[in-house]
Structure 1
Amino acid sequence: MTQLRDSARAPHRRPLDRAPDWLVGREAQTDARELRLLVVLTVALAACVWRFPDAVPLGSLVVPLLLAGFLLSPRRLPWFVVFVLVLVAVLALRLTTDDIDERDTLANARALVVVLVAGIVLWLSRRRARLGVGGALGESMLVDLRDRILGQGRIPELPEAWYAETALRSAGGSPFAGDFVVTALPRRSGRFEVAVVDVSGKGEAAGTRALLLSGALGGLLGALPPADFLPAANDYLVRQGWEEGFATAIHLSLDLGTGEFEVRSAGHPPAVQRIAGSGRWVAFDDPGPALGLFDDPVFPGATGRLRSGDAMLLYTDGMVERRRRDIGLGIDQLLGRAEDLLRGDVTGGAARLVEQVGARDDDRALLLVHRR
């Protein structure tokens, strides 16, 4: 009886594998409205071709076909293409006379072009059918995913004594990259949590794995004690079973009250701290293995403290690695540019460092933390 009463009081939950009804309904309404508009446009063009064949060519029916390829869902698009081809056949018969002349040859050629375009539109639609949405909606979904991965790395509002900035650049200038940053400011913890991650591969090839991994790591960051974050991330990658399933990462957990921090690395280039009093740079180079390669790895941690004027840099290998050059030389170059930068106003410094340092054919990411 207790279980029955608890079930009765429990709110109805929607299955996790279904989209909300309101979202499905809105997409269906939009698709139906666009289909009606395209049918009206096609009929209007067909009427103009029928009535004024010399002024409106038969090839003008290519326009609604191309629009349909961008706007309609894969479920509705084939029927619309059939509708257009029927109109093309009717119009071709209307324009053909008993005596074959140059006008008839031109009309048949235009009809053939429409048929070829229809075939291309259907072929593209078949490729998009795996996604289950039309071209415009599919692109908007990718844009939304891109914005979400970038949103994971937005710096939360920090106390006035602290400044932090991230900068990302991908190989080839694409907004999708294998490098990303996730940040968190857990409530009532007084700590700033941030991880800089480099997924195997680069550019668009690593972008899909980065999208999935950023969501998982964004949920773990701040929800676990600092020492447990990288082991949990490693367990997640091992479970995925990706052929190129490894990633490197570095995790910083910073106490915003005292400036004390913990930093742990998983096969990643070392974090570096600038000590303002002496002007020295200290590297924390004691990494554990890359994520996703081994079960139950150990990630050694280093501790320290950021005092007034100190700064810390976390970055990916694209900032310091180049072909036929030792990574140590790349780190020296990065620190030399950063030294010049930190002598003045550090605002926008991460973006300037990413532009000036690193390999253009590799993804680059950098985090700058400065205590004023």
Structure 2
Amino acid sequence: MVAASHPGRPTGLSAGRVLTRRWNRAVRRLRESDLVPALLLVAAAVLIGIAQYVVPFVPLTTLVIPMVIGNLVLAPRVLPWVVVFSLSVLVIVVAATPSVLDGRRIGGVVVIFLIGMIILVSSFRRTRLGVAGVRGESMLVDLRDRIHNQARMPALPKDWYAEAVLRSAGGSSFAGDFLVASRSSDGSSLQVAVVDVSGKGEQAGSRSLLLSGAFGGLLGALPAASFLPAANDYLLRQDWPEGFATAVHVTIDLLTGAFELRSAGHPPGVQLHAGSGRWAVHEAEGPVLGLMPRAEFSVVHGRIDRGDALLLFTDGLVETPERDISLGIDKLLGQGERLLRVGMEQGAHRLIDRLESMNDDRALLLLHRR
């Protein structure tokens, strides 16, 4: 004889566990929805309206509080209803207390309606994104952190030191310059790409995020010679109106120090030779990414010996509207010779601080072989 199973109850679970799971699921859905905060804000608006009717000297502007809080926590689909309800409460209170209506009170009503209209307009603009103000800010913070995580250098052998610094135009959290790095599975080689996306600051932040993820995947999956051609093809497929970028890509053998450097319309890499104390400029030829198909990129070979350092940077560090890039590189080498003489630790931070420019994004990578 087979016992009949109850519909909707998972096999092997007791009724108590089923009810507990359903309750937890309902609580989780309620917590994640906008229904609870919307109801609380509506209740707050009603209580404020009652207080203004019972105690006439309670200011009308207190009705702005639930609207402003709703603008921060509610989704664009729910926020207009809360704002309209709060304004309706305001109209009812004003109509119910005509004896205290004076010029100051009328001015307060006008101000509250203007604030409500501003909140409604902002909520309609957020409809494309579909998230509330605080949630949208959290998403942007997460995107910023992901860009910064892409710039973290992998763990290197003890005889190697790497330091990367990213700065954005105007001091914002988003920049058009980024860095991606990948170490081979056997740990013998390191690939690094420093990229400068067209635009600057927040304007280039979204493109920088997309390209940093794509280039990071290409960097670890392709041979060194295929990275820049693949990155160029990827940019061409995006068909962006302003979709070009410059990049410098270096592959280093961590055992011997031999490296290959390729450039796509990017400022050259510079190397400090510890033996002679002189700087060498490694300038490879190659077109800007995203402008022409089947682009070819030349390669420069070199070696990082003990005590040597290699600097890779973007043009925002060395070029300004008043200064040519060649003069900027000369200034960088002069500052590097003086600042790196005291040690390589935190050398990239000291160098970028001395060459600070708030008008463009900057990125600087320092690689040193101890």
How high is the TM-score relative to the length of structure 2?
A: 0.88
Distance, in Å, in 2 between the alignment partners of 1:172 and 1:328 is 24
CA contact (8 A) 1:320 1:358 kept: no
Distance, in Å, in 2 between the alignment partners of 1:28 and 1:130 is 23
Give the SS at the match of 1:249: strand
- Which one of 210, 219, 222 corresponds to residue 221 of structure 1? 219
Identity %: 54
- Which one of 65, 70, 73 corresponds to residue 72 of structure 2? 70
Distance, in Å, in 2 between the alignment partners of 1:88 and 1:65 is 12
- Which one of 89, 92, 102 corresponds to residue 90 of structure 1? 92
**2:38 paired residue number:** 35
Distance, in Å, in 2 between the alignment partners of 1:71 and 1:154 is 33
Shift of 1:27: 9.3
Distance, in Å, in 1 between the alignment partners of 2:107 and 2:356 is 54
Larger mean CA deviation between 246-255 and 315-324 belongs to 315-324
Distance, in Å, in 2 between the alignment partners of 1:62 and 1:48 is 14
| 1:298-355 Cα distance to aligned partner (Å, 9 max, x none) | 0111122211101000000111112243322211110111112222221111111111
Larger mean CA deviation between 114-123 and 183-192 belongs to 183-192
**2:320 paired residue number:** 322
Shift of 1:182: 1.2
**1:168 paired residue number:** 166
CA contact (8 A) 2:151 2:180 kept: yes
CA contact (8 A) 2:30 2:36 kept: no
CA contact (8 A) 1:318 1:358 kept: no
Distance, in Å, in 2 between the alignment partners of 1:103 and 1:132 is 39
CA contact (8 A) 2:261 2:284 kept: no
- Which one of 40, 52, 71 corresponds to residue 55 of structure 2? 52
Give the SS at the match of 1:221: helix
Distance, in Å, in 1 between the alignment partners of 2:314 and 2:356 is 10
Shift of 1:39: 2.3
| 1:235-289 Cα distance to aligned partner (Å, 9 max, x none) | 0100111111110000111122221211110000001111111112111112200
Aligned length: 344
Give the SS at the match of 1:207: helix
Distance, in Å, in 2 between the alignment partners of 1:87 and 1:359 is 52
Shift of 1:104: 4.0
Give the SS at the match of 1:343: helix
CA contact (8 A) 1:270 1:287 kept: no
Shift of 1:28: 6.8
The structure-2 alpha-carbon separation of the partners of 1:105 and 1:358, relative to structure 1 and needing over 3 Å to count, comes to closer
- Which one of 285, 294, 297 corresponds to residue 296 of structure 1? 294
Aligned positions of 1:97-246 closer than 5 A: 97=99, 103-246=101-244
Give the SS at the match of 2:311: strand
CA contact (8 A) 2:200 2:361 kept: yes
How high is the TM-score relative to the length of structure 1?
A: 0.88
| 1:201-254 Cα distance to aligned partner (Å, 9 max, x none) | 222222221121111111111111111111110001001111111100001111
CA contact (8 A) 1:191 1:256 kept: yes
Distance, in Å, in 2 between the alignment partners of 1:37 and 1:348 is 51
Distance, in Å, in 2 between the alignment partners of 1:110 and 1:328 is 61
**1:267 paired residue number:** 265
CA contact (8 A) 2:94 2:101 kept: no
Distance, in Å, in 2 between the alignment partners of 1:358 and 1:292 is 29
The structure-2 alpha-carbon separation of the partners of 1:59 and 1:146, relative to structure 1 and needing over 3 Å to count, comes to same
CA contact (8 A) 2:171 2:358 kept: no
The structure-2 alpha-carbon separation of the partners of 1:139 and 1:337, relative to structure 1 and needing over 3 Å to count, comes to same
The structure-2 alpha-carbon separation of the partners of 1:222 and 1:35, relative to structure 1 and needing over 3 Å to count, comes to same
Distance, in Å, in 2 between the alignment partners of 1:110 and 1:322 is 50
Larger mean CA deviation between 197-206 and 311-320 belongs to 197-206
CA contact (8 A) 1:318 1:359 kept: yes
Distance, in Å, in 2 between the alignment partners of 1:175 and 1:336 is 29
Aligned positions of 1:286-365 closer than 5 A: 286-357=284-355, 359-365=357-363
